[in-house]
Amino acid sequence: MRGFCVSAARRLNLAISKERGETRRGRVFTDRYHATTIANPRQARNALAYVLNNWRKHRGDRGAMRTAQVDPYSTGVWFPSWAERDGVPFVWPKGYEPLPCRAPTTWLLTEGWKRGRAVIRLNEVPGGFEQMLA
Average pLDDT, the chain: 81
pTM (predicted TM-score): 0.65
Judge residue 47's burial from the number of C-beta atoms within 10 Å of its C-beta, 0-12 exposed, 13-18 middle, 19 or more buried: buried
Spatial distance between the Cα atoms of 57 and 128, rounded to a whole number of angstroms: 9
Residues in the chain: 134
pLDDT digits (tens, 9 = 90+) for 26-80: 778 776 666 788 999 999 998 898 888 887 776 766 665 666 788 877 888 888 8
